[in-house]
């Protein structure tokens, strides 16, 4: 395999790992270009979307033939390209940071292409935070946001418990292969039902504060932020894709909340909010 094709595979893999773990379009494109330049590839072209990569490298034909032992006659430039579909998935900023560090080390010529390939595969295997810690953080986040929105101590406690149950439910649905739409609708419906239960049966002073705090762990903060950054960088298509994803998640959350509130009102005649 020629140096150019090896670099093509490496840069594509780096871009894929960055993109699927929450890297913004500008970061992905810039990192891939830095890596290609570090290995002396000049005819490098990349087009990045929110869910796909299009990469090509143009090599001088004469040099390529010489490398593979096929003669030294002048030839047409040889173009190698790769395409990757990168579905929108969970965010892992630890992997993004690790790839950024790797690109700096590559730019400092610390790794050969093969060594860099091994490093990027190791980075892609960095595990997510343990399920127990995710559940705890969800509960703490829900309780903290309930407090920020003006909830009482009892409201914060109710949101904390709801946040714990919420993320256990999210992990369960994800393990069963449920899609993002169903996960967000069912999860938001669950925490709304828990908010109703706490307010009317157990404890809590403001049901709206309990529900608002509880749904915060579901909000699409990173996709929304990245979509805005893509717009500011002129990547309007990718920004639109990510914005649609964020808006869809928000609509699913609103639908789940609305279903429970409407059902409770129809069954009891009590208007909750």
The pLDDT tens digits for 68-117 are 334 444 445 556 788 888 877 778 888 889 999 999 999 888 888 888 88
Q: Is residue 86 a part of any domain in this protein? A: yes
Helices marked H in 43-130 — which ranges? Answer: 61-68, 93-107, 113-124
Angle made by CA atoms 155, 216, 50, in degrees to the nearest 5: 180
Question: Tokens 């400092």 sit at which residue?
Answer: 108
Instruction: For the chain, report the end-to-end CA distance as a whole number of angstroms.
Output: 65
Residue 148 shares a structural domain with residue 187: yes
pLDDT band, very low/low/confident/very high, at 161 (cuts 50, 70, 90): very high
What confidence score (pLDDT) does residue 250 get?
92
Residue 55 shares a structural domain with residue 78: yes
Burial class from Cβ neighbours inside 10 Å (0-12, 13-18, 19+) for residue 230 reads buried
What confidence score (pLDDT) does residue 68 get?
39
Q: Is residue 90 a part of any domain in this protein? A: yes
Residue 16 shares a structural domain with residue 95: yes
Mean of pLDDT values over 4-25: 86
What confidence score (pLDDT) does residue 77 get?
57
What confidence score (pLDDT) does residue 93 get?
84
pLDDT band, very low/low/confident/very high, at 253 (cuts 50, 70, 90): very high
Q: Is residue 273 a part of any domain in this protein? A: no
Q: Is residue 164 a part of any domain in this protein? A: yes
What confidence score (pLDDT) does residue 129 get?
81
Residue 143 shares a structural domain with residue 49: no
**pLDDT, tens only, 23-69:** 888 888 889 988 888 888 878 888 888 888 888 887 654 443 333 33
Residue 256 shares a structural domain with residue 165: yes
Instruction: Look at residue 69 and give its three-state secondary structure.
Output: coil
What confidence score (pLDDT) does residue 42 get?
77
Residue 68 shares a structural domain with residue 156: no
Residue 159 shares a structural domain with residue 217: yes
Which residue(s) pair with 79 in the sheet?
Answer: 58
Residue 138 shares a structural domain with residue 244: yes
Residue 141 shares a structural domain with residue 209: yes
What confidence score (pLDDT) does residue 270 get?
64
Which of 124, 142, 176 is at the close of a domain? Answer: 124
- The fraction of the chain above a pLDDT of 90, given in percent, is 18
Structural domain boundaries enclosing 35: 3-124
- Using CA atoms of 252, 256, 262, 263 in order, give the dihedral in degrees to the nearest 10: 140
Residue 46 shares a structural domain with residue 78: yes
Q: How many CA atoms lie within 13 A of 206 on its CB side?
A: 14
Residue 105 shares a structural domain with residue 136: no
80: left (phi over 0), alpha (psi -120 to 50) or beta: beta
Which of 124, 146, 165 is at the close of a domain? Answer: 124
Which of 124, 158, 180 is at the close of a domain? Answer: 124
What confidence score (pLDDT) does residue 78 get?
56
pLDDT band, very low/low/confident/very high, at 247 (cuts 50, 70, 90): very high
What confidence score (pLDDT) does residue 124 get?
87
Mean of pLDDT values over 218-240: 85
H/E segment holding residue 59: strand 52-59
Report the Cα 272 to chain-centroid distance in Å: 34
CB neighbours of residue 94 within 10 Å: 14
Query: Rounded CA gap, 3 and 66, in Å?
Result: 12
Residue 253 shares a structural domain with residue 225: yes
Mean of pLDDT values over 107-133: 88
pTM: 0.74
**pLDDT, tens only, 173-217:** 988 888 888 999 999 999 999 888 888 777 778 888 888 888 999
Query: Rounded CA gap, 132 and 168, in Å?
Result: 9
Q: How many CA atoms lie within 13 A of 188 on its CB side?
A: 22
Query: Rounded CA gap, 97 and 189, in Å?
Result: 34
Residue 125 predicted with pLDDT over 80: yes
Number of domains into which the chain is organized: 2
């Amino acid at each position: 395999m020629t140096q150019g094709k090896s670099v093509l595979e490496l840069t594509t893999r780096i871009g894929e790992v960055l993109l699927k773990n929450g890297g913004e379009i500008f970061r992905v494109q810039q990192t891939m270009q830095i890596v290609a330049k570090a290995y002396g590839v000049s005819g490098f072209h990349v087009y990045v979307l929110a869910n796909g990569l299009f990469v090509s490298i143009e090599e001088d034909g004469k040099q390529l033939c010489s490398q593979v032992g096929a003669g030294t006659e002048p030839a047409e430039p040889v173009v190698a390209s790769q395409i990757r579909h990168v579905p929108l998935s969970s965010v892992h900023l630890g992997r993004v940071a690790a790839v950024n560090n790797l690109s700096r080390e590559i730019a400092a010529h610390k790794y050969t292409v093969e060594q860099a390939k091994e490093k990027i595969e190791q980075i892609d295997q960095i595990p997510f935070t343990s399920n127990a810690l995710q559940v705890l953080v969800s509960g703490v986040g829900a309780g903290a946001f309930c407090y920020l929105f003006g909830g009482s101590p009892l409201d914060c406690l109710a949101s904390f418990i709801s946040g714990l149950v919420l993320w256990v439910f999210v992990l369960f649905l994800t393990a069963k292969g449920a899609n993002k739409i169903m996960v967000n609708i069912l999860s938001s419906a669950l925490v709304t039902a828990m908010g109703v239960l706490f307010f009317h049966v157990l404890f809590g002073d403001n049901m709206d504060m309990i529900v608002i705090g509880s749904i915060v762990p579901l909000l699409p903060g990173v996709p929304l932020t990245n979509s805005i950054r893509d717009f500011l960088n002129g990547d309007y298509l990718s920004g639109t894709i990510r914005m649609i994803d964020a808006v869809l998640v928000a609509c699913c959350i609103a639908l789940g909340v609305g279903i429970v509130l409407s059902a409770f009102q129809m069954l009891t005649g009590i208007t909750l909010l």
